[in-house]
């Protein structure tokens, strides 16, 4: 077994924190520290994968570029960019690999070839290294092994039933057939450079060779795009590096042709190794997208809010009653869930799923998140376009009619419909934000009165039926005794002040019963509908940071924030969950909602710190005035 190779046992799969991500706002690739791309769907996020070794080490497919003999490399993102740099060393020999997916736009003459999707630029910086490239693509979710043809020096194509990918590699490298693909070997020394390029699509013809000079122009243009976008960020506080990295990751997860964002670029990465909680997140969740654009808006990114509202208008046809909970990235509603029984799954975690049945669920909270995003856009312009106003009025009517119903909740329960506290609190928020926008929304006398009455009734029910006096906490659902971290969100809606005794008590109970290893679990695994353990859900810990900050317990909030921040990998990327026992990330990776929650926690920490400075300043001035009077 050569350097960098692994067996197919469960223990041989890399930990998720070994991966970085690159993307072009159409799809994304996960690049392992050892130089292997083990995940890439083409042509877009929700397409079948070309490289999917994360879900089956033998049949999944991969593209590895690495020296034959080298130690553990160092890696980093280029400054304010989603371009990944990896430095390899073997003794005194050294080289750099630059990985990126070119942004498809014309920029100072550096247009991207139509077929080009991925570039890996090799640049020796000291001495000479022997390189190996493993090219093992698959089609149709690993069910089809393509035919490979070596039609010209430096080009190898893989085709199957109209689909094709072509790998461009250094022409002097030797090609050897390998299991499920080819191996390319050769040496490079200082003064030599090489381009490894992946082209996708096209039944006829072959891509033109890409010279280093053109690749360098595409690299410069890609860097320039990410940096220009990030210049809009207005946050300049203590956590700027983490916030800026999260903003770049969130933008990378946007499907630019439609403006939609995916929850994560991956599917079926398990919430616990060997478990069955393996879901497909390569789609657009209304909830996540609404929270995302509202958060980006707070950082100064205003265009994304308008893009989301336009996408919502087009995808949902202004009919809230027909909202799906998630859509394909182009707004298509077909996300039927299937199991791929021929794949082993990450570390043996089955089933592997594509599609997501949650699309058909009733999740009442989504209307609150949509209204919050609309409220963010309205606060900036104090204007509502006619079509948006019509859609939002229908949202209000839908909430007024359906808020007393059971739903699937934020955790997307498949078998336990309830009156979930989070859903009810978000129904309250939907009506509250609608009433705040009334000057532009023009609710009308009857609808306004109905909204006020319903807002009052929802609040009463949340505070009486959602709070369990015996437990001393807001619970998962009305008239329920199941403790759930989503109860922390009640004060985050503004329904209750953070100093309210019920909020204080909920925080204390969550800390005592749902914290393990210093992180917050969303509920006890034994009480979930699947009766399975899972990792600590990162957004729950960030919720607790938010509430502690609002309570003025800023030292606790900042200590917890630091603890949760350490669950990110060395590139600053968060997964869905984290297992404190093994200190490994779990669930789909990287997860937009984790990064969103981190940014939200930063905003709350900064507000708390600012308030504390104001309070200290007022106290100091008071003491000074008192001293002058006594003097």
Q: Residue 627: its pLDDT value, please?
A: 52
Q: Are 397 and 441 contacting, i.e. CB atoms less than 8 angstroms apart?
A: no
DSSP-based helix, strand, coil % in the chain, nearest 5:
40, 20, 40
- Burial class from Cβ neighbours inside 10 Å (0-12, 13-18, 19+) for residue 360 reads middle
DSSP for 197-215? EEEE--SSS-PPP--HHHH
Which pair of structure tokens corresponds to residue 468?
A: 């369990």
Enumerate domains of the chain plus CATH numbers: 10-103+112-205 (2.70.98.50), 230-617 (1.50.10.10)
In this structure, the number of other CB atoms found within 10 A of the CB of residue 14 comes to 19
> Which residue(s) pair with 99 in the sheet?
84, 120
d(CA 176, CA 68): 15
Q: Give the containing element (helix H, strand E) for 219.
A: helix 212-230
Q: Residue 317: its pLDDT value, please?
A: 59
Instruction: Say how many residues make up the chain.
Output: 631
DSSP E strands, 137-202? 147-152, 155-160, 163-168, 174-178, 181-189, 194-200
Q: What is the pLDDT of residues 421-467, one digit of tens each?
A: 999 999 999 999 999 999 999 999 999 999 999 999 999 999 999 99
Q: What angle do CA 19, 131, 55 make, to 5 degrees?
A: 35
Q: Residue 382: its pLDDT value, please?
A: 87
Q: Are 68 and 37 contacting, i.e. CB atoms less than 8 angstroms apart?
A: no
pTM of the model: 0.93
> Which residue(s) pair with 280 in the sheet?
267
Instruction: For the chain, list residues with pLDDT below 50.
Output: 1-4, 107-109, 618-619, 623, 626, 631
Q: Give the containing element (helix H, strand E) for 85.
A: strand 84-90
- Burial class from Cβ neighbours inside 10 Å (0-12, 13-18, 19+) for residue 611 reads middle
511 CB-side CA count, 13 A: 13
Q: Are 126 and 92 contacting, i.e. CB atoms less than 8 angstroms apart?
A: yes
Mode of pairing for the β-strands spanning 326-327 and 284-285: antiparallel
Q: How far is CA 523 from CA 431, 514, 597, in A?
A: 28, 6, 18
d(CA 337, CA 545): 35
DSSP E strands, 440-511? 467-468, 473-474
d(CA 367, CA 396): 8
């Amino acid at each position: 077994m050569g350097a960098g190779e692994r067996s197919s046992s469960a223990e041989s799969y890399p930990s998720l924190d070994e991966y970085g991500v690159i993307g072009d706002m159409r799809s994304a690739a996960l690049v392992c520290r050892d130089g292997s791309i083990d995940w890439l769907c083409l042509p877009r996020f929700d397409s079948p994968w070309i490289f999917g070794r994360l879900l089956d080490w033998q049949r999944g497919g991969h593209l590895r570029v690495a020296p034959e003999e080298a130690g553990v490399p160092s890696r980093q993102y280029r400054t304010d960019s989603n371009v990944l740099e990896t430095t390899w060393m073997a003794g005194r020999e050294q080289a750099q690999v630059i990985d990126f997916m070119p942004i498809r736009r014309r920029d100072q003459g550096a247009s991207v070839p139509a077929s080009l999707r991925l570039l890996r630029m090799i640049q020796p910086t000291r001495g000479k290294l022997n390189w190996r490239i493993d090219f093992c693509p698959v089609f149709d979710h690993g069910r089809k092994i393509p035919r490979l043809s070596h039609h010209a020096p430096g080009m190898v194509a893989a085709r199957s039933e109209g689909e094709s990918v072509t790998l461009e590699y250094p022409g002097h490298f030797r090609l050897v057939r390998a299991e499920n693909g080819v191996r390319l070997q050769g040496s490079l020394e200082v003064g030599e450079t090489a381009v490894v390029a992946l082209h996708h699509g096209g039944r006829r013809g072959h891509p033109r060779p890409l010279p280093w000079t053109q690749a360098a122009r595409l690299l410069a243009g890609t860097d320039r795009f990410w940096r220009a976008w990030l210049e809009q960020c207005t946050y300049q506080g203590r956590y700027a590096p983490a916030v800026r990295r999260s903003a770049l990751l969130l933008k990378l997860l946007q499907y630019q042709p439609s403006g939609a964002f995916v929850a994560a670029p991956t599917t079926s990465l398990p919430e616990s190794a060997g478990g069955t909680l393996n879901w497909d997140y390569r789609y657009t969740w209304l909830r996540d997208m609404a929270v995302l654009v509202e958060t980006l808006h707070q950082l100064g990114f205003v265009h994304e809010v308008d893009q989301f509202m336009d996408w919502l208008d087009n995808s949902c046809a202004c009919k809230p009653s027909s909202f799906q909970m998630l859509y394909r990235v182009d707004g298509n509603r077909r996300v039927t869930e299937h199991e791929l029984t021929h794949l082993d799954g990450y570390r043996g975690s089955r089933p592997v799923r594509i599609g997501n049945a949650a699309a058909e669920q009733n999740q009442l909270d989504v209307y609150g998140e949509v209204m919050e995003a609309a409220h963010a856009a309205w606060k900036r312009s104090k204007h509502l376009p006619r079509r948006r106003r019509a859609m939002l009025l229908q949202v209000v009517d839908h909430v007024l009619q359906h808020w007393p119903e059971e739903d699937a909740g934020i955790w997307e329960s498949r078998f336990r419909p309830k009156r979930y506290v989070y859903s009810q609190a978000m129904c309250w928020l939907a009506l509250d934000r609608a009433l705040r926008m009334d000057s532009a929304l023009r609710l009308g006398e009857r609808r306004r009165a109905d909204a006020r009455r319903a807002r009052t009734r929802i609040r009463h029910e949340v505070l009486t039926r959602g709070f369990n006096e015996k437990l001393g906490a807001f619970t998962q659902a009305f008239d329920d005794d199941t403790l759930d971290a989503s109860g922390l969100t009640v004060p985050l809606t503004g329904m209750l002040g953070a100093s309210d005794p019920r909020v204080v008590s909920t925080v204390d109970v969550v800390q005592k019963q749902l914290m393990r290893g210093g992180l917050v679990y969303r509920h006890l695994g034994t009480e979930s509908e699947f009766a399975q353990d899972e990792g600590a859900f990162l957004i729950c810990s960030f919720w607790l940071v938010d509430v502690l900050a609002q309570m003025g317990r800023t030292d606790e909030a900042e200590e917890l924030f630091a603890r949760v921040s350490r669950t990110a990998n060395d590139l600053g990327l968060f997964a869905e969950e984290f297992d404190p026992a093994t200190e490994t990330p779990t669930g789909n990776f990287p997860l937009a909602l984790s990064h969103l929650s981190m940014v939200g926690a930063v905003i709350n920490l900064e507000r708390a710190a600012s308030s504390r400075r104001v309070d200290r300043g007022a106290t100091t001035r008071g003491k000074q005035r008192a001293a002058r009077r006594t003097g």
